[in-house]
Amino acid sequence: MEEGFIFGGVGVDVEGFALSCAALVFFLVLYRLFVRTRELNVLFSGFFFFKGRRPTIRERLAKAPSTLYMTALALLLLALADPYFLYLKEPKPEEEWESRGLALYLLLDNSTSMNFKVPVNSSSGPEQVMKMDLSKRVAKQFIQGDPRSGLKGRAGDMVGLVTFARIARIISPLTLDHEKIVEEIDKIEFNKDIRQVGTGIGYAIYKTVSSIKALKHFSEADGSEQVPFYDIKNPVLIIITDGINEINPEDANNPIRGMDLWNGAEYAKENGVKLYIVNIDPSFAKMKDKTYHELYDLITKYTGGKFYMVDDSRDLVAIYRDIDQLEKSKIPLFAKDVKEKAPPRSEKYHLYPYLIALALLMIFSAALMQATYLRIIP
């Protein structure tokens, strides 16, 4: 039970508190219905005999058992509410802490065609933007967020960066250092090398999935029995491109570099990787031939992802919503390895074991007193 009332660092579980109140009412009703105070009536002709007499210790303790029973009941009801002290603990540099997030690889198309400008909608109205700049803008908004568009950013997610034209290059492996990723995105330029002409989306998928596969099974690669440092449950590839899979003629007979979209998607599916394709070219949506629309839609759905056509940041909200539904992985980290300060960890110090132990001690003491020193003989 995670939620509760918290007052100045002291809290109780909500459901337990409600259950305690209900139990208290129940016991009070039972007490009224079935418990009767046993009265011992003895007739005396006068009270002169008791004048100046002090009550004995036994007489003073006569009501102790009933008091102990009632106090024990109160403690048990309080324990049912699960009271606790809540305090914040600052992680030490060498201390391991845990985060939950997704493993996201951003695959940015930097082929020659990304040099052309396209019309896009912005807050100031329609404008002409180079597709490479639009791709970088979309990628950075996805990572950092944009409050004006309701985008919160990918805090807690491990993000990697890949660029692709004819071949794919892993610019950065998965990391929580989002500032570094943004810096690398700013450095990306469209391809100017005629030898690298092409848009090898299938090969980019294959290379990135292979990197994820190696990361997931690195402990097996060295023959050790080491448990992986973190378990990536739902790795995601977000491919930002302006067109279609175009293989360089020199790679036509290469089974890896010449990989088509379907084989790339099949490889991703086999390794549990979801594909999200984001096309940023408005003219792509206006193509009369919908073959590639249908193909993108088919291969992304096949892997559990989705195909989008984006021309402004408002369309990213739909992508966020879909990706946020995925199960997040547990990522053990060390505070010293993260640029941003590790968040303080809240810990609960539960009191119910002590309350139950004290209540049982009171019940035992009351029963012992009634059976020995305070025993009443009818």
User: Whole-model pTM?
Assistant: 0.59
- Alpha-carbon distance of 113 to 199, in angstroms, equals 9
Q: Reply yes or no on whether the pLDDT at 87 is more than 70.
A: no
Smallest CA-to-CA distance from 170 within 237, 241, 116 is with 237
Q: Reply yes or no on whether the pLDDT at 294 is more than 60.
A: yes
pLDDT at 295: 92
pLDDT at 106: 93
**To the nearest whole number, what is the mean pLDDT of the chain?**
76
Q: Reply yes or no on whether the pLDDT at 229 is more than 70.
A: no
Percent of the chain with pLDDT strictly greater than 90: 21
Structure-model confidence comparison of residues 339 and 21, the more confident one: 21
Separation in Å, CA 247 to CA 60, 114, 266: 97, 16, 18
With bands split at pLDDT 50, 70 and 90, how would you rate the model's confidence at 360? very high
Residues 236 and 316 in one domain: yes
Domain CATH for 183:
3.40.50.410
DSSP for 202-239, please give it: HHHHHHHHHHHHHHHTHHHHTT--PPPSS--SS-EEEE
Residues 303 and 352 in one domain: no
Residues 147 and 277 in one domain: yes
- Alpha-carbon distance of 209 to 232, in angstroms, equals 12
Residues 258 and 318 in one domain: yes
Q: Reply yes or no on whether the pLDDT at 262 is more than 80.
A: yes
Terminal alpha carbon distance of the chain = 49
pLDDT at 34: 60
Lowest mean pLDDT among 209-213, 232-236, 329-333: 329-333
Asked whether residue 176 is domain-assigned, the answer is yes
Asked whether residue 117 is domain-assigned, the answer is yes
Lowest mean pLDDT among 225-239, 272-286, 335-349: 335-349
Instruction: Taking residues 245-253, report their average pLDDT.
Output: 89
Residues 316 and 354 in one domain: no
Q: Reply yes or no on whether the pLDDT at 1 is more than 50.
A: no
- Alpha-carbon distance of 270 to 18, in angstroms, equals 48
H/E stretch holding 268? helix 261-270
Instruction: Taking residues 114-118, report their average pLDDT.
Output: 86
Tell me the CB-side half-sphere exposure of residue 41, using CA atoms within 13 A: 0
Residues 204 and 71 in one domain: no
Most confident of 18-27, 213-222, 239-248: 239-248
Asked whether residue 47 is domain-assigned, the answer is no
Asked whether residue 330 is domain-assigned, the answer is yes
Structure-model confidence comparison of residues 288 and 72, the more confident one: 72
State the total domains in the chain: 2
Instruction: Taking residues 48-64, report their average pLDDT.
Output: 73
- Alpha-carbon distance of 355 to 363, in angstroms, equals 12
What burial class does residue 322 get, using C-beta atoms within 10 Å of its C-beta: 0-12 exposed, 13-18 middle, 19+ buried? middle
pLDDT at 181: 92
The domain containing residue 68 runs over which residues? Answer: 4-38+53-89+346-371
pLDDT at 351: 82
Residues 151 and 286 in one domain: yes
